Copies of this chain bind each other. A is one copy, B any other.
């Protein structure tokens, strides 16, 4: 069975739980407490030298890191990744946008709030908020005329961007200023097989 090295509060890991659920693929999940340094222990480093979850492991021992690369691989040949070359390109464009221009701001500020780190990062906070709001504004402009991010239908680009956008308020981002984003969040949450970030999906197993 597929095994996901996971962390329930991580939006990057949630992307994988969501797609696996929508694909109907059974999986084991290992909860890796990233706050306790577990990803820097030798047994995890042997699996991912970059010290990050999510990490997906196949029964034959193959492993894949990087949430959006995992989405890409699981989605190839399914309705979650367009067949059309240009729509695939747009899908990738939004997924790289998510990792470079969105996640480092919206996810990071949320993590500061969740882990009591806002105070010690107060000097960096305004720039993080400004960049996060810039990302939300780029999304808003796109969603004013498009229902989804690529190919006019739900795809892994939407999953990638939904993961941290739908909990952006937990980092102090006010989504009321982005009504088209709000409507899109509802469309994503209404997709068949949708699960929420804290939903108990997969089979929890202990490790190591």
Contacts and interface: CB of A to CB of B under 8 A. Distances in A.
A165 interface: no
A101 B68 contact: no
A152 to B, nearest CB: 15
Secondary structure type dominating chain A contacts: helix
A68 B86 contact: no
Contacts of A103: 100
A65 B97 CA distance: 9
Contact of A66 (B62, B73, B85, B93): B93
Contact of A73 (B50, B85, B100): B85
A20 to B, nearest CB: 15
Contact of A64 (B50, B89, B141): B89
B99 A100 contact: yes
Given A49-B138, A50-B101, A99-B99, A76 B69 contact: no
Interface string A100-116: 11011000000000000
Size band of the A side of the interface?
A: 20 to 34
A97 B141 contact: no
The 6 A-B residue pairs with the shortest CB-CB distance in the complex, in nearest-first order: A73-B89, A66-B96, A69-B92, A69-B93, A66-B93, A72-B92
24 contacts: A49-B137, A50-B97, A50-B101, A50-B138, A52-B101, A62-B86, A64-B89, A64-B93, A65-B93, A66-B96, A66-B100, A67-B96, A69-B92, A69-B95, A70-B89, A72-B88, A72-B92, A73-B86, A73-B88, A95-B96, A96-B99, A99-B99, A99-B100, A100-B103
